[in-house]
Structures are given as structure tokens and as C-alpha cells.
Chains A and B, each alone.
Chain A
Amino acid sequence: MVRLSDLPNYEREHLLSKNLPPLGPAVWTKAKADLSELRIALITTAGLHYRDAQVFAFTDSTFRPIDGEEDPNNLVMSHSSVNFDKTGFSEDVNLVFPLQRFKELAAKGTIGSLASIHYSFMGAGLLPESYEAGAAQVAGLLKQDEVDAVFLTPV
């Protein structure tokens, strides 16, 4: 997230207007082991997908699976918002989706392992409740992949 003071007025007011009630009781699960034993998945709301996958619609609560074995340099971004910088992502995919960094951490043993599949949503234009079905489906898929923790990157 950015400092509110670094935003132009219209964007600051836009973000401050998003004052929604809590989604429900806060969730908390303690980490079950040391970091070096945890299996981690990446999830982004940046609207990323591989070039040949279906692009995100203007408002879209679906998600795209991202195979961790594919080259992340083939990821494109069809996020509907124009209110954030894309030049950095154009230079380096890891700025938004740090798959290469996590592979390095797994190779060094800092984390236990990486999930086989990661997930991408497009976070714009809909209220959080719209994502409930997709999020529940992803939660099931993550359990199936024996994932312990998720690293979420919004844009």
C-alpha cells in the first residue's frame, strides 16, 4: 500500500471512501512449524494470468491458477484498474508476483517448499463478498496441495 500523502487528491478520496464493515470475525491460525518447514503459496489480486488464459472481465470474481513450473515472465496483467503503476511490473514480474524470490528461498531452505499451483484474482470493481465462492474454492485447493501459509500481494 502507498502512503495516503503520496497520492493525488482524487485517488486518496477514492480509497478513503472504501470504508466497509468488517467481513466477519477475525481469523487466526498459529503457524504449525518453523518457517523452514512450511509450504507456501502465492496469491495475488493483480489480475495476472498466462498469455493464453482467459483475460479478466472489467468486473470479475473468478480466479486463474498459475502453474509454478511455468515461466512467470509469460504472465500478463488484465487488471481493470488504471490507478496503479504497471511500469515496474513490466520491468520485473517479481515486483508483483515474486515467484523467483520464493524459489530462491525454497532452494536455500528458508521456507520448506512452494505450492505446485498459485492463484490470481483481479481485485477491482466488486465488493469483497463477491469473491467468497472463489476464495472458498481456492482454500480447498490449497488444502489439497498441503499448503500451510499464503503470501498475498495486492496492487
Chain B
Amino acid sequence: MQPPRALWVPFPLGRPLGKPADPAFQINVILAALALLHRDRGPVLEDFPHDVPTLEATEAAACPVSFAAIPEQENSWQARLSNELTILQPWYELSLRRRNGRTLAGVSKETPQENIQTLATLLDEHKTPGDISWLKPAVEDIKAFYYEALTAQPGEYDSDALQHVFWQESSFGEAILVLHDIFDSAPDVQS
């Protein structure tokens, strides 16, 4: 992009200010970037010298739900995803209360609950969605619903651990991968 002044930060993608809910850390990043404004010549590319403090496993807040422990009563996607929805709903509601109503869900026209039902029907019928533009915002909203429910309790969460729970343990994570396979095998869908 060739910005005239750039501060390189060693933080994970998606976290340019380093650490959520840590105003002091964020201010340090901002001031380091603003200090570049008064350099004599450029372009300037400077390293931010501090990593985000590593979260020890013992310090990280535990996810309130363990999907791995949930016995599968039925094999249909409708049953599996509805089951997760029921388990997560109270945690999502707690998240809304704790975050003063803030949620990232809302990009799709439908609610996460409606989108989960639609997705489950598609998976059970082994179909791709008729309107492909529905899929991305729907999945993003459902992911927001899951992550906000999983982090409803106050505390710091390890993002790698959350990713593991979502992709390796939840039925919804598996559902996305199965939908990918359905797209791959659909003759009328081009990549």
C-alpha cells in the first residue's frame, strides 16, 4: 500500500491494536504510530517493540460450553444444530446483557436462529443454497452468535482455543466443512 508511515505490529491478523479491553496497551500502540508523524523523511516502517502478553492456559477463561461432551441424540443436522442452538442461546443472551446489547450478528437479513434452521435443512437435503449471496452473511452471523456465546463470561480468552472449540468440537464448525464438500460435488457450482 505504500503508506508514508507504518508501524509494524506483531499481533494476530484482526487485532491491529493488540489486545481487547486494554486501553493502556491500545494507547501505547496509537502513540507509537502517531510519533511517526514528526519524522523528517520517509517512507517510515518501524517495529512496535512489544508483544501482547501471552495468556497462560491456567489464566484463560474457560468456555462455558463443551461441545465434545454433548451426546448426539440424533444424526440429522436439524437435530444437531438445534441442540447446539438451545445450549448456546442463554449464553448468547448473557453476552448481550454483559456487552450492553452489543453483538456482531446483524449483517444478514435473518436472525442467526433462522439461518441455522435454513442451513440445517440444506445439509439434511444435501443441497446448496439457491441464493448464494445469502450464505456468507448468514454464516458470519452464526459464527458471531457462537463466539459471543462462548465468550459470554467475563475474562480473557485464548483465541486459538476458541478456534479449536468452534472448528473441531462444534457441530456448526463441522456443518461448514460438510457444506464445502456439498459445493465441491455440485455439478452446477463453479469455484
Verify that A and B bind, or say they do not: yes
Identify the A interface with B (CB < 8 A): 1-3, 6-7, 11, 22-24, 26-31, 35, 38, 40, 51, 55, 58, 73-74, 76-78, 80, 83-96, 98, 100-102, 104-105, 110-111, 128, 149, 151-155
Our pick among A22, A104, A152, A153 for the contact of B23 (Cβ within 8 Å) is A104
For B157, give the chain A residue with the smallest CB separation. Answer: A87
Cβ-defined contact, A80 with B136, below 8 A: yes
Cβ-defined contact, B151 with A155, below 8 A: no
Our pick among A24, A30, A83, A151 for the contact of B33 (Cβ within 8 Å) is A151
Q: A23-B2, A26-B43, A29-B4 are in contact. Are A55 and B137 (CB under 8 A)?
A: yes
Q: A55-B107, A90-B151 are in contact. Are A85 and B12 (CB under 8 A)?
A: yes
Cβ-defined contact, A26 with B159, below 8 A: no
Cβ-defined contact, B13 with A89, below 8 A: no
Give bound CA distance, A92 to B25, whole Å: 13
Give bound CA distance, A154 to B11, whole Å: 12
Majority-rule SS of B interface residues: loop
Give bound CA distance, A88 to B55, whole Å: 14
Q: Mark B28-65, 1 if CB is under 8 A from A, else 0.
A: 00110110011011110000000000000000000000
B residues 72-122 near A (Cβ < 8 Å) are 99-107
Count how many pairs of residues, one from A and one from B, have CB atoms less than 8 Å apart in the complex: 144
Q: Number of B interface residues, CB 8 Å?
A: 52
Cβ-defined contact, B15 with A95, below 8 A: yes
Give bound CA distance, A62 to B154, whole Å: 36
Q: A28-B43, A29-B4 are in contact. Are A98 and B13 (CB under 8 A)?
A: no
Q: A35-B38, A92-B20 are in contact. List 12 more A-B contacts (CB 8 A).
A: A7-B13, A22-B2, A26-B42, A27-B2, A73-B100, A77-B104, A77-B107, A85-B12, A86-B104, A89-B20, A90-B144, A102-B30
Our pick among A1, A28, A85 for the contact of B4 (Cβ within 8 Å) is A28
Closest CB of chain B to A14's CB: distance in Å? Answer: 11
Give bound CA distance, A11 to B104, whole Å: 24
Cβ-defined contact, A86 with B30, below 8 A: no
**28 A-B contacts, Cβ less than 8 Å apart?**
A2-B10, A7-B13, A28-B4, A28-B42, A31-B37, A31-B38, A40-B34, A51-B106, A58-B133, A76-B106, A77-B107, A78-B107, A78-B137, A85-B159, A86-B104, A86-B147, A88-B15, A90-B104, A91-B151, A95-B17, A95-B18, A95-B20, A96-B16, A101-B23, A101-B27, A105-B30, A110-B31, A151-B30
